[in-house]
Amino acid sequence: MIRSLLLNNPDAVRRAGLALILSLVTAALYGMGISSAWLGKMVPPLAGWLSESPALGRLLAAMLLALAIYANWKALRLLSRGWQIFGVWLELFILLMLFFYSFDLSLGFIAKKIGFMISQGVVTTLYISAISIAIATVIALVGAIAKLSKNGVIYGLATFYTSLFRGLPLLMQIYIIYLGLPQVGYVISAIPAGILALSLCYGAYMTEIFRAGIESIPRGQSEGATALGLSPAQTMGLVVLPQAMRVIIPPTGNQFIAMLKDSSLVSVVGVWELMYLARTQGQTEFRHIEMLITASMIYWVLSIGLELVQSRIEKRFGRFNVR
Amino acid sequence: MTVQPEIQLENVHKWYGKYHALAEINLTVRQGERVVICGPSGSGKSTLIRCINRLEAHQEGRITVTGMELTDDEKTAGHIRREVGMVFQHFNLFPHLTIVENCILAPMWVRGQRRAEAIERARHFLDRVHIGEQADKYPIQLSGGQQQRVAIARALCMAPKVMLFDEPTSALDPEMVKEVLDTMVELAQEGMTMICVTHEMGFARQVADRVVFMDRGRIVEEGAPHDFFAAPQTARAREFLSQILH
Ligand SMILES: Nc1ncnc2c1ncn2[C@@H]1O[C@H](COP(=O)(O)OP(=O)(O)OP(=O)(O)O)[C@@H](O)[C@H]1O
Ligand SMILES: [Mg+2]
Average pLDDT over every residue of B63-88: 93
Same domain for A168 and A36:
no
Question: Which of B12, B16, B37, B58 to mutate to test ligand 1, by most ligand atoms within 8 A of the CB atom?
Answer: B16
Q: A87-93 — which CB contacts under 8 Å span 24+ positions?
A: none
Q: The domain that contains A296 carries what CATH number?
A: 1.10.3720.10
Instruction: Flag whether pLDDT at B48 surpasses 60.
Output: yes
* pLDDT value for A323: 41
Residues near B93 by Cβ (< 8 Å), separated by ≥ 6? Answer: A224, B99, B102, B139, B147, B150, B151, B154
For the segment A182-227, what is each residue's pLDDT rounded down to a tens digit? Answer: 888 888 889 999 999 999 999 999 999 999 999 999 999 999 999 9
Q: HSE of B19 in the Cβ direction (CA atoms, 13 Å)?
A: 8
Residue A150 and residue A28 in one domain:
no
Ligand 2 centroid distance, CA of B46 (Å): 4
What are the helix (H) ranges across chain B?
45-52, 74-83, 99-109, 115-128, 144-156, 174-189, 201-207, 225-230, 235-244
- Is residue A92 situated within a structural domain? no
pLDDT tens digits for A82-92?
999 999 999 99
Band of the pLDDT at B246, cuts 50, 70, 90? low
Is A25 a member of any domain?
Answer: yes
Q: Is residue A6 part of a domain?
A: yes
How distant is the Cα of B91 from the closest Cα of chain A, in angstroms? 8
Quote the DSSP letter at residue A278: H
Domain boundary among A54, A77, A100: A77
Across the A:B interface, residue pairs with CB atoms under 8 Å apart total 63
Q: What's at B214, amino acid-wise?
A: M
Q: Using CA atoms, how far apart are residues A162 and A158, in angstroms rounded to an integer?
A: 6
Q: Is there a contact between B158 and B110 (Cβ–Cβ < 8 Å)?
A: yes
For residues A44 and A182, membership in a common domain is answered with: no
> Could you give the residue ranges of the DSSP H alpha helices within A78-189?
81-101, 107-116, 123-147, 152-167, 170-175
B162 with B151: CB under 8 angstroms?
Answer: no
Residues A179, A293, single domain; the answer is: yes
- Residue A61, phi then psi, degrees to nearest 5: -60, -45
Domain annotation covers residue A7:
yes
Query: pLDDT (tens digit, 9 = 90+) per residue, A1-29?
Result: 788 888 888 888 889 999 999 999 999 98
Task: Please name the amino acid found at residue A20.
Answer: L
Query: Is the four-CA dihedral B74, B86, A228, B174 of positive or negative sign?
Result: negative
CA B157 to centroid of ligand 1, rounded, Å: 29
Q: How many CB atoms within 10 Å of residue A272?
A: 17
If we measure between CA atoms, which residue out of B111, B117, B46 comes closest to residue B79?
B111
- Centroid of ligand 1 to alpha carbon of B42 (angstroms): 5
Convert the pLDDT of each residue in B110-160 to its tens digit. Answer: 999 999 999 999 999 999 999 999 999 999 999 999 999 999 999 999 999
pLDDT band at residue B98 using 50, 70 and 90 as cut-offs: very high
pLDDT over 70 at B1, yes or no: no
- Using CB atoms, which residue from A221, A224, A229 is nearest to B110? A229
Nearest Cα to A322, choosing from B201, B140, B191? B140
Ligand minimally distant from the alpha carbon of residue B39: 1
Range of the domain at A224: 108-322
pLDDT for residue A173? 93
Task: Give first-to-last CA distance, chain A, whole Å.
Answer: 51
- Let me know whether A23 and A113 are in one domain: no
Q: Which of A286-300, B49-63, B84-98 has the lowest mean pLDDT?
A: A286-300
Cα–Cα distance measured from residue B85 to residue B65, given in angstroms and rounded to the nearest whole number: 12
Considering the domain architecture, whether residues A189 and A123 belong to the same structural domain is answered as yes
Taking the CA of residue A227 and the nearest CA in chain B, the distance in Å comes to: 6
Ligand 1 site residues (CB inside 6 A) read: B 16, 19, 21, 39, 41-47
φ/ψ (deg, to 5) at A142: -60, -45
Shared-domain flag, residues A150 and A207: yes
Kindly tell me if the per-residue pLDDT of B3 is higher than 80.
no
pLDDT at residue B193 in the model:
95
One domain for residues A203 and A148: yes
Query: Which of these three, A77, A93, A123, is where a domain ends?
Result: A77
Residue A84 lies in a domain: no
Among A271-280, B120-129, B185-194, the range scoring the smallest mean pLDDT is A271-280
Q: Which helix (H) or strand (E) holds B85?
A: strand B84-87
Q: How far apart are CA A249 and CA A270, in angstroms?
A: 32
Q: What value does the mean pLDDT of chain B take?
A: 93
| Residue of B189, B143, B91, B137 whose CA lies nearest to A227 | B91
CA dihedral A62, A63, A69, A72 (to 10 degrees): -140
Order the strands of the B19-29 sheet from edge to edge: B19-29, B7-16, B60-65, B68-69
Which residues are within 8 A (CB) of A170 and not within 5 positions of it... i.e. 6 or more apart? A197, A198, A201, A262, A265
pLDDT of residue B12: 96
Q: How far apart are CA B32 and CA A145, in angstroms?
A: 41
Contact between A227 and B81 using a beta-carbon 8 Å cutoff: yes
A156/chain B closest Cα distance in angstroms: 23
Interface of B with A in 112-151 (CB under 8 A): 138, 140-141
Domain count, chain A: 2
pLDDT of residue A4: 84
Closest ligand to Cα A223: 1
Cβ A184 vs Cβ A227: under 8 Å: no
pLDDT tens per residue, range A91-104: 999 999 998 888 88
* A88 in any annotated domain: no
Tell me the pLDDT band of A321, cut-offs 50, 70 and 90. low
pTM: 0.82
- Residue-level pLDDT at A283: 82
Task: Using CB atoms, pick whichever of B55, B138, B141 lies closest to residue A223.
Answer: B55
Query: How far apart are the CA of B129 and the centre of ligand 1, in A?
Result: 30
One domain for residues A73 and A139 = no
Interface contact A228-B94, CB threshold 8 A: no
Average pLDDT over residues A142-146: 94
Lowest-confidence region among A250-254, B25-29, B113-117, B155-159:
A250-254
Are A216 and A300 contained in the same domain?
A: yes
User: Beta partners for B13?
Assistant: B60
For chain B, what percent of residues have pLDDT higher than 90? 90
Crossing angle, helix B115-128 and helix B99-109, to 10 degrees? Answer: 130
Asked if the structure places residue A102 within a domain, the reply is no
- Whether A252 and A123 map to the same domain: the answer is yes
- Residue A137 and residue A248 in one domain: yes
- Please write the tens of the pLDDT for every residue from A28-79: 988 888 888 888 888 888 888 888 888 888 888 888 889 999 999 999 999 9
A35 or B95, greater pLDDT: B95
Q: In this structure, is residue A251 part of a structural domain?
A: yes
Indicate yes or no: CB of B97 within 8 angstroms of CB of A224. Answer: no
Helix (H) or strand (E) holding A31: helix A10-31
